[in-house]
């Protein structure tokens, strides 16, 4: 963990931890909005302490990580109940590539680079969806140890279990990841398949769609009750292809489908009058699409360019 680097824990040293905390909280929660709230609360707790209390902390970076981790653990504990009240399916918040990133803050100013999430395999949509199936303790133990390389002794301080118990939790989470993963296709191959999918979809070519979709393909949409979409997953390549053609038939003429990077991987976005209204993420195995995630909840699209 980060060690104390400035006398009196200067502001620049403290704020330099912000990006790490955002990266951690997003992976733990699957929501950038919630991650930002967690980081804000973490800093609020730091500044609520007296100067004497702050100076007594040898490593402010380690302290901030512990507090953020514990807050995330609490948020994850209540998330299941909130997801049960969520309208339709819940999909993690999609992230654009850096050149597409905008602020959701008033005025639309560009987000400070320190707020950006590092796009690697630990934020691709398939990975985040598997994380959603884990218990809060599994998810926190796995992310802190396997992704952020903290020791199990450090993880234990956050999770409130013994290091041995955290090791077992991470092992269980690792097994879930292995069991759910399909052999990864090279990024260039994925991009080609997504491009072919876009062309087949726009042409309403159901035969081409069937060739691109795995027979067991699944499509999941997240509108959150704020955008029209199908409420339950569509299963089977044939069913997905037919649903896609129906959507294309109903698509307004001012909607444009564009190739974009979604959570570090090839994806698509739909824009209406220049505003992003849907983000599509894909899981590609071999030369077929296994899963499609369509995020339409406007609250999850605030960082996409208009």
Q: What's the rounded Cα separation, in Å, for the pair 281 and 95?
A: 10
> In this predicted structure, which of 5-14, 89-98, 275-284 has the lowest mean pLDDT?
5-14
Q: Give me the sign of the Cα torsion angle 111, 117, 120, 125.
A: negative
pLDDT digits (tens, 9 = 90+) for 163-215: 999 999 999 999 999 998 877 788 899 999 999 999 999 999 999 999 999 99
Q: What mean pLDDT value characterizes the chain?
A: 89
Mean pLDDT computed over 121-134: 91
Give the CA dihedral 37, 38, 43, 44, nearest 10 degrees. 70
Query: Residue 102: what pLDDT?
Result: 54
pTM to 2 decimal places? 0.88
Q: Quick one: pLDDT at residue 53?
A: 95
- pLDDT tier, 105 (very low <50, low <70, confident <90, very high otherwise): very low
- Band (pLDDT 50/70/90 cuts) for residue 101 is low
- Which pLDDT value is given to residue 3? 38
Question: So what's the pLDDT on residue 26?
Answer: 96
Give the side-chain half-sphere CA count within 13 A for 45.
Answer: 14
Average pLDDT of span 115-122: 70
Does residue 137 carry a pLDDT above 90?
A: yes
State the pLDDT confidence band at 84, using cuts at 50, 70 and 90. confident
pLDDT at residue number 97: 87
Higher pLDDT, 76 or 1: 76
């Amino acid at each position: 963990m980060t060690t104390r680097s400035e006398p009196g824990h200067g502001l620049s040293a403290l704020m330099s931890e912000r990006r790490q905390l955002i990266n951690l909280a997003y992976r733990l929660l699957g929501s950038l909005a919630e991650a930002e709230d967690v980081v804000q609360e973490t800093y609020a707790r730091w500044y609520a302490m007296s100067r004497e209390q702050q100076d007594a902390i040898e490593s402010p970076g380690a302290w901030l990580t512990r507090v953020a981790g514990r807050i995330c653990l609490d948020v994850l504990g209540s998330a299941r109940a909130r997801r049960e009240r969520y309208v339709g399916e819940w999909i993690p918040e999609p992230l654009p590539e850096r050149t597409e990133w905008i602020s959701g803050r008033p005025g639309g100013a560009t987000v400070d680079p320190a707020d950006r999430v590092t796009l690697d395999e630990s934020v691709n949509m398939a990975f985040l969806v598997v994380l959603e199936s884990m218990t809060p303790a599994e998810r926190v133990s796995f992310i802190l140890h396997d992704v952020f390389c903290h020791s199990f002794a450090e993880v234990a301080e956050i999770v409130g279990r013994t290091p041995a118990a955290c090791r077992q939790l991470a092992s269980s989470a690792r097994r879930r990841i292995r069991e759910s993963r399909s052999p990864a296709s090279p990024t260039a191959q994925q991009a080609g398949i997504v491009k072919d999918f876009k062309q087949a979809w726009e042409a309403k070519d159901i035969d081409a769609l069937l060739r691109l979709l795995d027979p067991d393909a699944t499509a999941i949409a997240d509108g959150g009750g704020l955008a029209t979409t199908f409420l339950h997953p569509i299963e089977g390549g044939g069913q997905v292809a037919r649903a896609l053609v129906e959507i294309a038939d109903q698509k307004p003429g001012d909607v444009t489908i564009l190739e974009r990077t979604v959570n570090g991987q090839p994806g698509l976005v739909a824009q209406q009058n220049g505003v992003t209204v849907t983000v599509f993420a894909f899981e590609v195995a071999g030369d077929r699409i296994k899963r499609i995630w369509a995020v339409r909840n406007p609250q999850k699209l605030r960082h996409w360019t208009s």
